[in-house]
Amino acid sequence: MKMSYREAIRQALRGALAADPRVFLMGEDVGKYGGTYACSKGLLDEFGPERIRDTPLSELGFVGAGIGAALGGLRPIVEVMTVNFSLLALDQIVNTAAALRHMSGGQFSVPLVVRMATGAGRQLAAQHSHSLENWYAHIPGIKVLAPATIADARGMLAPALADPDPVVIFEHAQLYNLEDELPGDFQCDIASAAVRREGKAVTLITYGGSLPKTLAAAEELAGSGIDAEVVDLRVLRPLDTATLFVSVKKTRRAVVIDEGWKSGSLAAEVMARIAEESFFELDAPLKRVCSAEVPIPYAKHMEEAALPQVPKIVAAVRELLGK
C-alpha cells in the first residue's frame, strides 16, 4: 500500500494509542490543528482531549510534564515542533530524562518518546533549519532514531514506546511528503543500521533526510560503472558499527553524508570509529559531505548550495576513486 511519510507517522500514532491506554500525545497544536506537519490530524476526534493534549508554548514545561507522566506509569509521546525549539527543553531531556535511571541506581526509568522535526531545505532560514541530531546522540541514557523510510516511520514508534528509557525520534521535515509502498512487514528494531543498496566499490553512510539524496547519487554513479553501497544508520545512538565495519570491509572505501555541520558532526564520529576499528580494511582515506559551516541561508539558491546535494556526493565519490 502506497502512502506518505506523514501518513505512516499518523498510522503509527493511531496504532500506539489504540493498542495501549497508557499512551497519550502532547505538544503544541497536536489537537485541534492536527499538528504542525498534520501528523496528528483526526486523532483528537478519535481519542479525545485526555489523550491528545494541546500544550502551552513552553517546551521546558511540557517535556517536563511528559517526564513526570512517564515516571507515573504512562507512556507519553511528546511532540516538539522543530529541533531548534527542543533547545528550550535540553535541561529536561539531558539532565533529567537521560540521567534518572543512573542517578536512582536503577530504581526509576523514564519510558518517554520525544518526536521532533529536523533539517533544512524549506527556506525557513537560520533559526528553523538546524540538524542537531548529533547533540542528542552524544548523551548516554537516551536512544536516538532517524527514520528515513516509510516503513521506519511506521514501524519505529512501537519499539520506542516499549523501551524503558527515553527515545528521541528525528523526522526530517523534507520527508513528510515522501511517498512509497508500505511493506506488509514494517516491524523493525531500534538497534540496527540498514543496507539500503548493495554495492562493491564504495560505502555511502547516511541517515534521515540525506538518504534519498544518497540513493539518487548511488543511482547516478551506477550509470558510470561505480557500484556504491548505501548504509542508512537509522539509529544514531547506539551506533550499529558492526554493519558499518562489514560494509567497509567489502568496499574498502567510505563516504559519510551528514546534513549537520562538519565541525563536531556525527559524520566525524562515524569516521573516527571506522578509523579506530577498520583502518587496515581501507584502501583510501575517508571522506564526508556535510553542510557548509554557516547559518543556513534563507534564499533558496543559497540554502541549496549550503546543504549536501547529489552532485556533491557524486563528486566526493569520484574524487575518492580517482574517477
Active-site position among 59, 133, 259, 303: 59
pLDDT > 90? residue 1: no
Query: Residue 206 and residue 12: Cα distance in Å, rounded?
Result: 24
pLDDT > 90? residue 175: yes
78: which 3 cell numbers? 511528546
Query: Residue 81 and residue 87: Cα distance in Å, rounded?
Result: 11
Query: Residue 282 and residue 250: Cα distance in Å, rounded?
Result: 10
Q: What angle in degrees, to the nearest 10, is found between the helix axes of 211-222 and 310-321? A: 50
3-class SS at 313?
A: helix
Among 99, 230, 115, 105, CA closest to 165: 99
pLDDT tens digits along 230-265: 999 999 999 999 999 999 999 999 999 999 999 999
2-181 and 194-321: identical CATH topology = yes
Classify the C-alpha dihedral 278-281-286-290 as positive or negative: negative
Average pLDDT, the chain: 97
pLDDT of residue 176: 97
pLDDT of residue 275: 97
pLDDT of residue 226: 97
238 upstream amide cis, omega within 30 of 0: yes
pLDDT tens digits along 151-169: 999 999 999 999 999 999 9
Query: Residue 18 and residue 216: Cα distance in Å, rounded?
Result: 37
**Residue 145 pLDDT class (50, 70, 90 cuts):** very high
pLDDT tens digits along 41-100: 999 999 999 999 999 999 999 999 999 999 999 999 999 999 999 999 999 999 999 999
Are 168 and 142 within 8 A, CB to CB?
Answer: yes
Q: Domain 194-321: state its class.
A: alpha beta
Ordered by start, the domain boundaries in the chain are 2-181, 194-321
Verify whether residue 128 is a known catalytic residue. Answer: yes
Rg of the chain taking only CA atoms, in angstroms: 20
Active-site position among 28, 79, 128, 133: 128
Verify whether residue 28 is a known catalytic residue. Answer: no
pLDDT > 90? residue 323: no
**Residue 194 pLDDT class (50, 70, 90 cuts):** very high
Consecutive H or E run containing 170? strand 167-172
Considering the four listed CATH numbers 3.40.50.720, 3.20.20.140, 3.40.50.10540, 3.40.50.970, the one that applies to the domain covering 2-181 is 3.40.50.970
Taking residues 124-145, report their average pLDDT. 96
Taking residues 104-110, report their average pLDDT. 95
Torsion of CA 297, 302, 308, 312, to 10 degrees: -160
State pTM to two decimals: 0.97
pLDDT tens digits along 2-45: 999 999 999 999 999 999 999 999 999 999 999 999 999 999 99
